[in-house]
Chain A
Amino acid sequence: AQSVAQPEDQVNVAEGNPLTVKCTYSVSGNPYLFWYVQYPNRGLQFLLKYITGDNLVKGSYGFEAEFNKSQTSFHLKKPSALVSDSALYFCAVRDHLGGFKTIFGAGTRLFVKA
């Protein structure tokens, strides 16, 4: 069965500093990995995904994520955080053999302080 772990309930960073939001996954086959962001009382917005190829993927709003197969991780990163990045971030996984079902992690709340 697929699963996703986001070990940090909340991440606090100062504006201008780099940020990392951690994610590890478990699937039986090759993973398709996604990051989404949610602002208060809104639906989720797609940030980026890893399907195959280059382990470093770039997405919206300056975010990027690195796929690490040996560590089964897909951490979200940004070189310089903005206050407007404060939101709830979800990592998600889909097994390429498991149809279209997408499983989400518990979410990590990012708080960027000015």
Chain B
Amino acid sequence: GAVVSQHPSRVICKSGTSVKIECRSLDFQATTMFWYRQFPKKSLMLMATSNEGSKATYEQGVEKDKFLINHASLTLSTLTVTSAHPEDSSFYICSARFGTRNTGELFFGEGSRLTVL
């Protein structure tokens, strides 16, 4: 299947700093990528839809200035957590849609665990 690489897998930062997480589709072009946040009680929350060459679409309640998403190429989307605070500590997972049809499954990165001290 298609491969999605996410980096870094773990990051620890101080409160107030910014952290960038990269999501790459390694063997296919992804015009659309999705960013999810997974909370300790398992649930996966869709944060935003990242579209190549255009602005990301954020879900209700997600601060766009807090979570900056850039999809500069067909294989790379980045999520930057700006001015991170301890409540931003979480597991962030990106995914990419394979193919152009709406019927395609998502392929996920391995996730990035962010810990804000």
Per a CB cutoff under 8 Å, which of B42, B49, B103 touches A101?
B49
Q: Say yes or no for B108: interface residue by CB 8 A criterion.
A: yes
When each residue 21-42 of chain A gets 1 if its CB lies under 8 Å from chain B and 0 otherwise, what string results? 0000000000010101000011
Chain B residues with CB under 8 Å of A43's CB are 4, 6, 93, 95, 108-111
Q: Give per-residue flags for A83-100: 1 if the beta carbon is below 8 A from chain B beta carbons, else 0.
A: 000001010001010011
By the criterion CB–CB under 8 Å, are A49 and B42 in contact? no
Q: How many residues of A contact B (CB 8 A)?
A: 24
Indicate whether A106 reaches chain B with its CB closer than 8 angstroms. Answer: yes
Q: Interface size of B by Cβ–Cβ distance < 8 Å?
A: 26
The answer to whether A107 and B44 have CB atoms under 8 Å apart is: yes
- B95 cross-chain contacts in A, Cβ below 8 A: 43-44
Known: A42-B111, A44-B95. A102 touches B34 (CB 8 A): yes
State the total of A-B contacts with C-beta under 8 angstroms. Answer: 61
Q: A46-B106, A88-B42 are in contact. List 13 more A-B contacts (CB 8 A).
A: A32-B103, A42-B110, A43-B4, A43-B110, A46-B1, A46-B105, A49-B105, A90-B44, A100-B97, A100-B102, A102-B34, A104-B36, A107-B43
- Can you report 29 A-B residue pairs in the complex whose CB atoms are below 8 A from each other? A36-B108, A41-B91, A41-B111, A42-B111, A43-B6, A43-B108, A43-B109, A43-B110, A43-B111, A44-B106, A45-B108, A46-B1, A46-B106, A46-B107, A49-B103, A49-B105, A94-B102, A100-B34, A100-B49, A101-B34, A101-B49, A102-B34, A102-B106, A103-B46, A104-B36, A104-B43, A104-B46, A106-B42, A107-B43
